[in-house]
Structure 1
Amino acid sequence: MKLLILFVSTLLFGTADLTGIRQQYLNAAKSAQVTQDLYDSLKDVSDSSSENTLVAYKAAALTLRAKHEKGMLTKKKLFTQGAKLLEAVIERDADNYEARLIRLSIQENAPKITGYNKKIAEDKTFIIRNYKAQKSDLKEYTQGFVKVSASITKEDKAAFN
């Protein structure tokens, strides 16, 4: 049923709805199939699309695909491709709150060997500073992330109430 809704929304709106994409992203780390479904729903989004949030989720899907791959070279290729795409999104749209939230979640969960953890403090500060200006659905989504975040301290969590 979920796939049918995703398919219909893709036909009607060109891409899947952001709420559905967010939910898939939350579940993707646990399942190779959900990760592939997330990527499939975003693969037609152009890397240079003005829909920067969707491009950021596409980048995240690439990094998550790396997690579920078996070969080290394929893992590295997918992760690097996703990280570069996400960095490009943030470079062209530095104030994109959701892209920064995605990057923070990836950095927290990326294997240390990738070296993809240099902007955790920057993203955390950005998220805290800009949280109150977000719409309620994105605030709720952020609160879910904050509950499980390794970089958001107990003191920082007060900013998300």
Structure 2
Amino acid sequence: MIRQIFTYCLPILLFFNIQKDRGDLEFVRSNYNKAMVDKDLCALMIKDLQQTDENIAFAYLGGLETVWAKHALNPILKLKAFNKGKRKIEQAVQKEPENIEIRFIRLSVQKHAPSFLGYNDNMKEDISFIQTKRQEIKSQILLNNVDKLLKYSK
């Protein structure tokens, strides 16, 4: 009896967990740009993303940590937050170099990072990659974010 319950309930629970993760990622996608000006939202998203081991979420976590540098008051903490986020983004790119979304995250950070930080080496490469693979994007929210970023990257 227990075996039957387990057999039938586990796939349902896994389905809802997968749906929840997709919903969370859509939330992150739709609020990624808002986190640049909303400190509380940025902190909430960072906290939530620390709970996952998915590579795209890890890249978003890195992107948001670089954004957190804007919200920090102490210059040393700003630099630490930025570098911590940058390392995560680069780890995510290294793990999945063909992932459009991860490359978008890196491009968005490099596009908005102050030039004195020296984090802008991959912009042309990422723009070209994203433009080539743009038609493969399935999320409408991500597509809108990509198009907005590419519009201002020319």
TMscore range, shorter length = 0.7 to 0.9
Q: Scaled by the length of structure 1, what TM-score is found?
A: 0.77
SS across alignment from 1:17: helix
73 and 125 in structure 1: CA distance in 2 versus 1, 3 angstrom threshold? same
Look up the equivalent residue of 2:45 and give its one-letter code.
L
Aligned mate of 1:110, from 104, 110, 113: 113
1:88 equivalent to 2:91? Answer yes
**Alignment deviations for residues 52-79 of structure 1 (CA, whole Å, 9 cap, x no partner):** 1111111111111111101111011110
Q: Is the 8 A contact 1:15 1:42 kept in 2?
A: no
**Structure 2 partner of 1:72:** 75
SS across alignment from 2:33: helix
Q: Is the 8 A contact 1:67 1:75 kept in 2?
A: yes
**Structure 1 partner of 2:11:** none
Higher helix share: 2
100 and 14 in structure 1: CA distance in 2 versus 1, 3 angstrom threshold? closer
1:24 equivalent to 2:24? Answer no
The Cα of 1:145 is off from its aligned counterpart by 2.8
> How far apart, in 2, do the equivalents of 1:131 and 1:125 lie?
10
SS across alignment from 1:44: coil
1:142 equivalent to 2:146? Answer yes
Q: Scaled by the length of structure 2, what TM-score is found?
A: 0.81
Look up the equivalent residue of 1:84 and give its one-letter code.
R
Q: Which runs of 5+ in 2 are unaligned?
A: 1-15
1:126 equivalent to 2:129? Answer yes
The Cα of 1:37 is off from its aligned counterpart by 1.4
Q: How many residues align?
A: 137
Q: Give me the identity figure in percent.
A: 30
Look up the equivalent residue of 2:94 and give its one-letter code.
E
Look up the equivalent residue of 1:90 and give its one-letter code.
V
Q: Which runs of 5+ in 1 are unaligned?
A: 1-8, 154-161
Aligned-residue Cα RMSD (Å) equals 2.0
Aligned mate of 2:48, from 33, 41, 46: 41
Aligned mate of 2:60, from 40, 57, 62: 57
Moved beyond 4 Å, runs of 4+ = none
Q: Is the 8 A contact 1:60 1:82 kept in 2?
A: yes
